[in-house]
Structure 1
Amino acid sequence: MNRRTFICAGAAVSLCALPYLQARAYAQSIAPITKPDWLVELIKLNDQQLTSIQGTRVTEPGAFFGALKDGDGTPNPQSTSDFVRRSGCAISCPESSFYQSEALLKEIDQALGYLLKAQHEDGTLDLPATNFHSAPDTGFIVKRLVPTYTLLERSKTSGQEAVLATFKTFLLRAGEALTVGGIHTPNHRWVISAALTKLNERWPNPRYVSRIEQWLSEHIDMDSDGQYNERSTLIYSPLTNRLLITIAKGLNKPILLDYVRRNLSMTRYYVHPNGEMVTEASGRQDKALVGMMDGYYFPYRYLALRDNDGEMAAMCRLIEKTAMPKVVYQLDYLLEDPTLWKELPASKPLPTNYVKTYPHSGLVRIRRDQWDSTILSANPVWFTFHKGDAVLQGMRVASSFFGKGQFQTEKIEQRGDSWVLTQSLDGPYYQPYPTDRIPVDGDWEKMPRINRAQSEVQKLQTNVTLRESQGGMQVQVQITGTDGVPVALELIFRPGGTFTGVSSHPSRANAYLLANSGTYTVKTDKISFGPGQVAHKNVQLRGSLPAMDAPSVYITGFTPFEHTIRLS
């Protein structure tokens, strides 16, 4: 993978141009008074989800009283703070069945009481799954709860004063941790900075701003592709966009929005025709996960309105069409800023026919209306093909070459209308150890291979050439060098469809052999693929990655191996 180029933010940090109350009054003065239908629908959905998660509250007296449990039954600050956030959205909205609910206010108070108990003396919280005394995980919570504090304050719910006092104590104690706490990952810098920005809007403090300046002086980790360091298109890229918008608004730093614009512009080409995200190049836990674009809704909406941008408006409408219920998780963003309730500008056409290369992220994107394909480097899954709901989620090839024959390429080379992926492997044998260096005790570990002469060195060269063909893609795999090496080319499909033209493997579940041509159909969408060949039935070669939990079709042979398969 090429080294990433880090781009300088290049601007001094300044305090808010308007004091908090003035800025809020200004935003409300230019915003619609009545909530739009789409926002009311999100409020109703939040009510439904809130009712569901109330069942995970800890109501028995004890250390966890007031907390909420996660899916594994563990009480924790994250689930509890999310309950507080959802509750703040509900209790502040006249459209909610929980509006000004004193019963819900009591539950919020109990949840905040747990958060205060869970908070360490230094102001930090734990993420019980992995991080302890964690400033970043505290920042994730504070970033969302400061707006929740504001929503609760706006609700004018009877008895809220004491709850707000507890709330403020928790937030300010956390602020102390955020002014000194450290990080693990690139996005943690912006998590902490955004949390401090929100705190500074409510309770101005030069220490907050100073710490934000410190993190921003490291510059924004964006490469020339428009991607952030973690390349996490499903989780951390949309998160970073939301955080940078928060900092830009709260500290009057519009230059930060340029990074958001660049990422959102790039993201237009990371979308499958059905609205799913391309995730295979991620460097984080969302790698190859299936997910939609809901995390980008607030950034696209904010900049569509700010810039009067028709393409960003079109991306909003695409999310509304494909993933709107999931946008409920951003309800606090949408309630806090009424300017977001305005009607979007008219849509401009989105790109649906393109070839885009992203060298820093190590992928090529090809889309032709209703099908698209991704070519990847530094990844054992080096090719995907989507056609509506029918998805080839990965292609891999392996050979049983000295236990190291799983193919992946370090780079993607374009040659004319083709993309070429390569790998060169050696398989040496080793001569006797130099006599004058043999250890007296004969310990094998004291005789490293680097000191032995090599002989009978075997070679294996793999070239994969991909190009567009009629209505799809053509993939040619050529493996030469040592003869007689077993090869298995693997087509991994997303579960949920039906095959024709393939035969079940005699001993492996979810595995199929392709002798000629086949199809894979999901609902009304179909991928055709072939031709195939079956020279042997060893589809789990020594040294290859284990089969995925998905229906997989295999083409097998021996070196010298040359086979071309077409997908449409």
Structure 2
Amino acid sequence: MNRRKFVKKTTAAICTLPIASAVAFNPVNRKMQKMPEWLEALIKQNDIGVEAIRKFQIKETADPAYGGLMDSFDVVNPHTTSALIQAGANAISSPASRFFQSEELLRDMDLAALYLIKTQHADGTIDLLSTNFHSTPDTGFLVKRLVTAYTLIQKSETKGAGKMLANLKTFLIRGGNALSVGGVHTPNHRWVVCAALAKLNSLWPDPKYVARAEQWLGEHIDIDQDGQYNEKSTFIYSSLTDRLLITVANGFNKPELLDSVRKNLDMTMFYVHPNGEIVTDASGRQDKALIGTLENYYYPYRYLALKDQNGLYAAMCQMIEKTAGLKIGGFLDYYLADETLWKAMPAPKPLPVNYVKTFPNSGLVRIRRGNWDSTLIANNPSWFTFMKGNAVLQGVRLASSFFGKGQFQSEKLEEKGKTWELIQTLEGPYFQPYPKDFISKDGDWEKMPRLFRPVSEVQNLETKILISETENGMQIEIETTGTERVPLAVELIFRPGGTFKGLTQIENAKDSWLLKEGTGTYSLNGDSISFGPGIALHKNIALRGALPPVEAPTVFLTGFTPFKHTIRFS
């Protein structure tokens, strides 16, 4: 079996574990033993990961990358190498692991530490080979987890650990030098650096660590009134920031930082779909519209559920255990390093499942009624979603062929009574001859910009969308006025896997359908969404200026301006 196939098969095997093993979790209010069952389940999962990742370590002594680990592209790099040390530390320090106090695994981890030292730059930084070089923040990502690995290895009392720890310390101290002076790229990078410095300072106190963290913290935490961080990255960076701020609060004795974490966790309870997935539609980062559960939030919810005796946070943990299962194992080192997390949590309180919640700073409205929910989004070409159990309408888009710029997107989502309004106003001018005294002598069009040309025959197009709740679902009223006979198309984009009824398939188009009249239905695993009535006045679904089609089952409703049509979802 070649290596890539092995990676694929191993990953698939590990990913199936959360579903098969979710029963390994105790209810959150059950009295836990010294080593709770859910933690033992994570340790066993970690063992599988250790066994898999060790196969990618370079063991040929003549190889310049000796001791390092390859990623799935056959590139030896610090991050994959660091992963062996992290997972290995979890294993050799856990009596429930089959690698407990394994000297053989420790030797592999030592080789990995030596490779990290070798690949580390003179300034203490490492490279993220996919994009960042001499990167302070990427050094911080490694250091903050490797300090925890250091403490776990030390705690394990594995024979020969002293040599490995000395090598790892060399890498960490050099990294600390970089973290004390280096710069960042993104908002969360500041807190990555601070968390890494807090970790270093807990083992090797140094005034420069404290001073540098104070500089970054002096910029204040980037959380808004909604409870969202600047990047609005609900799947990746918001939960990361929560974990980082807990580390900084503990490491530098700044409990006030936990208020930002609480604010974000309170908001996140309203970003949960009925199936346990998290709303990602308003993210400003690479997780935008990504499908994912809330495993990344388990640690902050558990930490503060115990610290605050918060029953809502305990209920969120219970929900995450049920829907994400062993995927929380990505943070096993957090649970092993802090035994207070092993305690039984407070009794869970009912989570919000029936609400209308507006988040103005994010331009987002969340509506949930038990087993269905809807998300309304501003500043997004996909401005509406509707989910009912397994049946998911993952986006609605609207585009016209108006001068190649008719993809609908509204800057604001305005609440008007029980209705939300999205508006877009477009102009399509023609341009007159350039002012004679300023004509470029070489005839270069670019030197005679449109900005300074008189305009004429200006065309206008205004689209207003009204969204409201109905007795058993939602409805969208679309009205487009202005220039007449402009073709337009509404896209209803569904998650793959289900079946349609009441539609006509469009020829020579992959998984594209027309709803000509009446009501259509999309069904998946016993859940259904009904939508309509339909309208199909043309079959042009690739309008000039519209975004490319999404690779998903898509239903089109089409017409011409002036256009007024209401679509109901139930």
User: Would you call these one fold, judging by a TM-score over 0.5?
Assistant: yes
| 180-189 or 383-392: bigger deviation | 383-392
Secondary structure class of the residue paired with 1:396 = strand
Among 545, 548, 552, the alignment partner of 1:543 is 545
Are 2:372 and 2:389, in contact at CA under 8 Å, matched by a contact in 1? yes
Q: Per-residue displacement from partner, 1:492-544 (whole Å, max 9, x unpaired)?
A: 11111111111111121121111121111111111111111111000010000
**1:165 positional shift:** 0.7
**Equivalent AA in structure 2 for residue 55 of structure 1:** K
**Equivalent AA in structure 1 for residue 531 of structure 2:** F
Q: Per-residue displacement from partner, 1:388-423 (whole Å, max 9, x unpaired)?
A: 111111100000000000000000111111000000
**1:50 positional shift:** 1.5
**Equivalent AA in structure 2 for residue 448 of structure 1:** P
Tell me the distance in 2 between the aligned counterparts of 1:286 and 1:448.
38
What pairs up with 1:461-500 in 2 under 5 angstroms? 461-500=462-501
Unaligned runs of 5+ in 1: 1-30
Tell me the distance in 1 between the aligned counterparts of 2:183 and 2:227.
26
Q: Per-residue displacement from partner, 1:81-111 (whole Å, max 9, x unpaired)?
A: 1111011000100000100111101110111
Unaligned runs of 5+ in 2: 1-30
**1:58 has 2:52 as partner:** no
| TM-score, with length taken from structure 1 | 0.94
- Residue 78 (structure 2) aligns with: 77
- Residue 41 (structure 1) aligns with: 41
Are 1:32 and 1:338, in contact at CA under 8 Å, matched by a contact in 2? no
**1:73 positional shift:** 1.7
**1:560 has 2:562 as partner:** yes
Secondary structure class of the residue paired with 1:287 = coil
Tell me the distance in 1 between the aligned counterparts of 2:174 and 2:241.
24
Are 1:434 and 1:452, in contact at CA under 8 Å, matched by a contact in 2? yes
**1:551 positional shift:** 0.9
Tell me the distance in 2 between the aligned counterparts of 1:157 and 1:196.
27
| TM-score, with length taken from structure 2 | 0.93
| 406-415 or 514-523: bigger deviation | 514-523
When residues 479 and 318 of structure 1 are mapped into structure 2, their CA distance, relative to the original with a 3 A threshold, is same
Give the paired residue count. 538
**1:324 positional shift:** 2.1
Q: Per-residue displacement from partner, 1:311-343 (whole Å, max 9, x unpaired)?
A: 000000000000021100010000000000000
**1:525 has 2:527 as partner:** yes
| 516-525 or 192-201: bigger deviation | 516-525
Tell me the distance in 2 between the aligned counterparts of 1:76 and 1:361.
36
Q: Percent identity?
A: 60
**Equivalent AA in structure 2 for residue 394 of structure 1:** G
Tell me the distance in 1 between the aligned counterparts of 2:515 and 2:64.
59
Tell me the distance in 1 between the aligned counterparts of 2:356 and 2:85.
45
Q: Per-residue displacement from partner, 1:246-271 (whole Å, max 9, x unpaired)?
A: 01111111100000000000000000
Tell me the distance in 1 between the aligned counterparts of 2:58 and 2:497.
38
Secondary structure class of the residue paired with 2:145 = helix
| 425-434 or 331-340: bigger deviation | 425-434
Secondary structure class of the residue paired with 1:491 = strand
**Equivalent AA in structure 1 for residue 554 of structure 2:** S
Secondary structure class of the residue paired with 2:270 = helix
- Residue 158 (structure 2) aligns with: 157
**1:32 positional shift:** 7.6
Secondary structure class of the residue paired with 1:360 = helix
**1:447 has 2:471 as partner:** no
- Residue 431 (structure 1) aligns with: 432
Tell me the distance in 1 between the aligned counterparts of 2:335 and 2:397.
43
**1:299 positional shift:** 0.2
**Equivalent AA in structure 1 for residue 84 of structure 2:** F
**Equivalent AA in structure 2 for residue 555 of structure 1:** L
What pairs up with 1:235-274 in 2 under 5 angstroms? 235-274=236-275
Are 1:32 and 1:339, in contact at CA under 8 Å, matched by a contact in 2? no
Tell me the distance in 1 between the aligned counterparts of 2:219 and 2:64.
40
Are 1:484 and 1:558, in contact at CA under 8 Å, matched by a contact in 2? yes
- Residue 339 (structure 2) aligns with: 338
Are 1:230 and 1:282, in contact at CA under 8 Å, matched by a contact in 2? yes
Secondary structure class of the residue paired with 2:273 = coil
The runs of at least 4 consecutive aligned structure 1 residues that moved more than 6 Å come to none
Tell me the distance in 1 between the aligned counterparts of 2:74 and 2:505.
41
Q: Alpha carbon RMSD of aligned pairs, Å? A: 1.1
Tell me the distance in 2 between the aligned counterparts of 1:247 and 1:435.
65
Q: Per-residue displacement from partner, 1:145-170 (whole Å, max 9, x unpaired)?
A: 10100000111111111111111111
Q: Per-residue displacement from partner, 1:425-447 (whole Å, max 9, x unpaired)?
A: 00111112222222222211111
Tell me the distance in 2 between the aligned counterparts of 1:174 and 1:269.
39
